[in-house]
Amino acid sequence: MPKTYEPIATTTLSSSAATIDFTSIPATYTDLRMIISGVSNAGDNIFYRFNGSASSVYSRTDMVGSGSAALSVRASGLTLGRLTNYGWPDTNAGNQVTIWDIMNYSNTTTFTTSLARSNRATNGVEALVNLFSNTSAITSISIATNQFSGSSNWLSGTTVTLYGIKAA
């Protein structure tokens, strides 16, 4: 079986940070996968921007289940993307893992779609489908727990790995 996942970059924070950035992403893969494991100091959601764009080109559909209730929400014309809807764990809630798949990220003729999945024992499971309504290839990704406002931070020990996925 051919090796299809290749680590591009890993960041493990030794101190708190408002954002985590991956730049100079090569266009040599078909898709990307990001795995985020860590905590924030405020329990905020995870937000992202591609290529530093703060234009109103992001939209999403959130699907959340708590075991006793379900929720679906749509939003469009947003200035940032979102990877979680129930809040990233704060220092009291422990670690959470979010897996984010970014499909066809280097294509310059179609919009970029992505799917984020995460779970947390205190809140349930969720999946968010995102659309970046821009045909630019994705060359950089920034993630934050605070809508890029600086109001909360990723805490020390948070680890984020970006993988490139090659066609099998």
Mean pLDDT of the region 13-40: 92
Rounded distance, CA 104 to CA 168, Å?
14
Per 3-state DSSP, the chain is made up of helix, strand and coil in percentages (nearest 5) of 0, 50, 50
Rounded distance, CA 130 to CA 49, Å?
11
pLDDT tens digits for range 91-132: 555 567 889 999 999 999 999 999 999 876 666 788 999 999
Rounded distance, CA 137 to CA 108, Å?
6
Give residue 64's pLDDT: 84
Nearest CA-CA partner of 159 in 136, 137, 140, 143: 143
Handedness of CA 27, 32, 37, 38 (dihedral sign): positive
Give residue 43's pLDDT: 67
Give residue 1's pLDDT: 43
